């Protein structure tokens, strides 16, 4: 496309300019979601300001509004953002529509190698088309859906005895979804410290992406695939396979049996609140929440355990990818300075500090350091989770694809309309219409 070609040419000229002289002092604006990692990045970026002479400003938008706000900014050619930490699913549309500067030439000119980053994050955050060496972002924040559990409750002798009497096995962190459901049912309605608690917090949010992220996190391990591996966009028998149907039925059964009352529209923030306040024994959420739990007076200090997404009935274990890459916005008038920020951010010492401040580095030199697994109580779980990630469609029409899954999943899981088979058959029909309109089928 013409705009994408122009972005590539711009990257080449910028790379040459950057190699010869530093950009003049600028006031750069970085756009991201409003959450704890963004606050950590503000602190980290003070080092960049001191070293470069540039001034950093930030535009952070709450997650429920993040996609609408920032995609509107990109689609309108707005100049608010010089740097964008955009969601992984945006990469296809942002590349094809010329929103991001292609970074290949800049990476080559500055010795930045994608082989230095965790492979799943390069594919998920940087590449378009997928599995090709065409890079539109630097992996910035690794994230994945996992589980936290009340380790302190699991370790109480009276609770252990009750569980063993009922299930004939020890109460330990679940390794399969069947075990997870048993534990959730066991805790549902139980009284602990004079308070009624519930089994699990899972994603049910309808408005943005919540229930899709939750459902897919389960379906992958039950055998769901987006398409025929040998025939792109051929979804029949893959999206609605018997395993996928069973996985969707399981997710609904977990919602029906084991969540707190009034949790029909919950996502990340509600899960954090439910877990910190002691409402639930198990919580599904992205790994970005884990540093906050470690320092929380109610659930920190060894009270929380961290768990890789459990395995499905056939032993497969996958997890929903989160996280983002950092890109230079093609409409920025300060691209040379923005590229300077990316070069700074890619440095191993900066990435190591990023991890120490609560940012989830994607640099292999950081996460493959022998000291990494013991650097935080959740570090090994993060590593193991990132090794089994899958992601939602990153197609340019991802927003329409996502709207369809949000409706189909919420209607079935929460509203109780129809069957799992009907929901997935309907999803194929919805997605087929999108891809036909895009000329891909």
174 lies in the same domain as 122: no
405 part of a folded domain: no
231 lies in the same domain as 174: yes
What pLDDT is attached to residue 232?
A: 95
Which one of 320, 339, 358 terminates a domain?
320
427 part of a folded domain: no
131 part of a folded domain: yes
- Scan for tokens 């994408």, then name that residue: 4
289 lies in the same domain as 334: no
57 lies in the same domain as 113: yes
Quote the number of domains for the chain: 2
What pLDDT is attached to residue 24?
A: 83
Query: Which pTM value belongs to this model?
Result: 0.93
359 part of a folded domain: yes
What pLDDT is attached to residue 64?
A: 87
229 lies in the same domain as 316: yes
112 lies in the same domain as 13: yes
Q: Which domain holds residue 8?
A: 2-144+323-390
What pLDDT is attached to residue 3?
A: 39
161 lies in the same domain as 284: yes
186 part of a folded domain: yes
181 part of a folded domain: yes
Read off the CATH number of the domain in which 364 is found.
3.40.190.10
410 part of a folded domain: no
For 306-349, the pLDDT digits (tens) are: 999 999 999 999 999 999 999 999 999 999 999 999 999 999 99
418 part of a folded domain: no
241 lies in the same domain as 368: no
Residues with pLDDT less than 50, the chain: 1-22
294 lies in the same domain as 363: no
For 77-117, the pLDDT digits (tens) are: 999 999 999 999 999 999 999 999 999 999 999 999 999 99
């Amino acid at each position: 496309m013409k705009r994408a070609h122009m972005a590539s040419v711009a990257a080449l000229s910028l790379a040459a300019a950057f190699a010869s002289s530093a950009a003049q002092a600028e006031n750069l604006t970085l756009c991201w979601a409003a959450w704890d990692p963004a606050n950590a990045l503000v602190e980290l970026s003070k080092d960049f300001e001191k070293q470069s002479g540039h001034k950093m400003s930030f535009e952070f938008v709450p997650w429920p509004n993040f996609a609408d706000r920032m995609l509107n900014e990109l689609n309108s050619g707005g100049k608010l953002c010089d740097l964008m930490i955009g969601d992984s699913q945006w990469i296809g549309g942002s590349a094809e529509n010329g929103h991001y500067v292609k970074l290949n030439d800049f990476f080559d000119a500055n010795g930045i190698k994608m082989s230095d980053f965790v492979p799943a994050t390069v594919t998920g955050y940087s590449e378009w088309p997928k599995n090709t060496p065409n890079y539109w972002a630097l992996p910035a924040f690794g994230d994945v859906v996992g589980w936290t559990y009340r380790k302190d409750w699991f370790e109480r002798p009276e609770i252990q005895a009750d569980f063993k009497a009922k299930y004939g096995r020890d109460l330990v962190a679940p390794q399969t979804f069947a075990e997870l459901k048993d534990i959730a049912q066991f805790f549902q309605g139980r009284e602990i410290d004079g308070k009624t608690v519930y089994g699990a917090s899972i994603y049910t949010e309808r408005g943005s992406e919540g229930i899709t992220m939750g459902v897919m996190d389960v379906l992958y391990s039950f055998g769901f695939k987006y398409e025929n591996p040998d025939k792109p966009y051929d979804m029949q028998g893959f999206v609605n396979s018997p395993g996928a149907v069973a996985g969707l039925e399981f997710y609904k059964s977990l919602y029906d049996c084991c969540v707190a009352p009034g949790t029909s529209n919950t996502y990340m923030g509600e899960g954090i609140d439910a877990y910190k306040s002691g409402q639930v024994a198990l919580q599904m959420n992205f790994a970005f929440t884990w540093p906050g739990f470690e320092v929380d007076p109610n659930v920190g200090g060894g009270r929380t355990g961290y768990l890789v997404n459990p395995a499905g009935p056939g032993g497969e274990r996958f997890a929903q990818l989160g996280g983002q890459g950092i890109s230079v916005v093609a409409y920025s008038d300060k691209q040379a300075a923005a590229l300077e920020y990316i070069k700074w951010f890619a440095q191993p010492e900066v990435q190591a500090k990023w991890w120490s401040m609560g940012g989830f580095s994607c640099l292999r030199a950081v996460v493959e350091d022998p000291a990494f697994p013991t650097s935080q109580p959740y570090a090994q779980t993060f590593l193991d989770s990132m090794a089994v990630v899958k992601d939602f469609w990153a197609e340019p029409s991802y927003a329409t694809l996502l709207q369809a899954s949000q409706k189909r999943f919420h209607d079935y899981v929460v509203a109780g309309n129809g069957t799992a088979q009907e929901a997935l058959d309907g999803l194929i029909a919805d997605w087929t219409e999108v891809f036909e309109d895009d000329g891909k089928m």
